[in-house]
Chains A and B, each alone.
Chain A
Amino acid sequence: MNRKVLIVGALIVTPLLIFLALSFGKDPRAIDSPLVGRTAPDFALRGLDGEMVRLADLRGKPVVINFWATWCQPCIAEHPVLQAGAKQYEGSVEFLGVIYQDEPEKIQAFIDRRGAWGPSLVDDAGTVAIAYGVYGAPETFFIDRNGVIVRKATGALHPNELASLLNGMLQSG
């Protein structure tokens, strides 16, 4: 075969192979967030019970913020995972739910049936979801004691994934 053809072919194929090899190592569900490693955007939202929750007031404890809705099937699937997590880490980790494009009445009815795992905060204008760069539900943000986002999880959480992330945050001090 012509040597020139081989060289040109190698120059075209090699970068493509490198690109593919690098992509294979990534989680296809994951959506990169520029917020990871940065201070979590602060907010103050009222819960369904009428109580105001301000993120900055929770500084000193790891916080899990989950954007969810009743129309979202993966959110329903991960509900028991978050319930178990909130129970297991009660007192050491704060769990906050932010209602994403849903009606508070529907959320309340759902909670009445299945129970809650933390306050469900009403984000009427969607400004908190936008500040967190949310694409869809469910998305979960893990915030360390210093208020820095350490991880963003897209899709329904697995119990092992939740435990591993929370243990990591608790151990890192």
Chain B
Amino acid sequence: MRSIYLTLVVVVLSLAALMPAAGQEAPLGAANWDLVGQPDGPPISGTELDLITEEVAGIMRCPVCQGLSIADSPTALAIAMKAEVKEMLSKGYSESQVLDYFEQSYGEFIRLEPKARGFNLFVWLAPLAVLLGGLLFLAMRMKKPVVAELEPTATSSSTESELDTYRERVRREVAS
């Protein structure tokens, strides 16, 4: 009896040892999510998962569309990407982890809204700089009195000497 138990234990342990090998045989697609580390949060499901999937997919650009998010695009690629986003979120990966993962394959292009850093700052700051510059220009123009423009400009020393010569000539001609 004891030998039967022992045999059973050995068989069960052997099967358990074989499990990882069997797992390796299963198609794993691209198991590269660990590039962004372990999931930041706990697994999620149901309505919460659906809502956050729409939210994240809504800020990701469809690579084969014109300015559409993967949430709005009906293309096969966008549908596959959205499915993967959902899968990652369900495992507990955060929004930033999902975006980082896709950014590794498609670059920053995948973000509908570029990160506010480096050269991208120009996109964020340029309109503000133009607005401030315009306001400054207007303020300076309004501060400057209009009369000032009508006042004669100061004559240079050379013009003054020319005038002196001319006055002297007139005086001499009048006297003669």
Contacts and interface: CB of A to CB of B under 8 A. Distances in A.
Interface of A: 32-35, 41-46, 52, 101, 122-136
Contacts of A42: 30-32
A52 B25 CA distance: 7
Nearest to B81: A130
B145 interface: no
Interface in B62-117: 63-64, 76-77, 80-81, 83-84, 102-107
A141 to B, nearest CB: 11
Given A129-B80, A131-B105, A123 B29 contact: yes
A37 B156 CA distance: 67
Contacts of B30: 41-43, 127-128, 130-132
Contacts, number: 74
A42 B32 CA distance: 7
Given A42-B31, A43-B28, A43-B29, A125 B76 contact: no
Nearest to A44: B28
Q: Name A's interface SS.
A: loop
Contact of A44 (B27, B104, B105, B107): B27
B106 A34 contact: yes
Nearest to A35: B105
Nearest 3 CB-CB pairings of A with B: A126-B80, A131-B30, A133-B105
Interface of B: 24-25, 27-32, 63-64, 76-77, 80-81, 83-84, 102-107
B76 A126 contact: yes
A122 B29 CA distance: 9
Contacts of A128: 29-30
A32 B105 contact: no
Contacts of B83: 125
Contact of A131 (B25, B32, B103): B32
A123 B106 CA distance: 18
Contacts of B107: 32-34, 133
Contacts of B32: 41-42, 131
A169 to B, nearest CB: 22
Contacts of A135: 63-64, 77
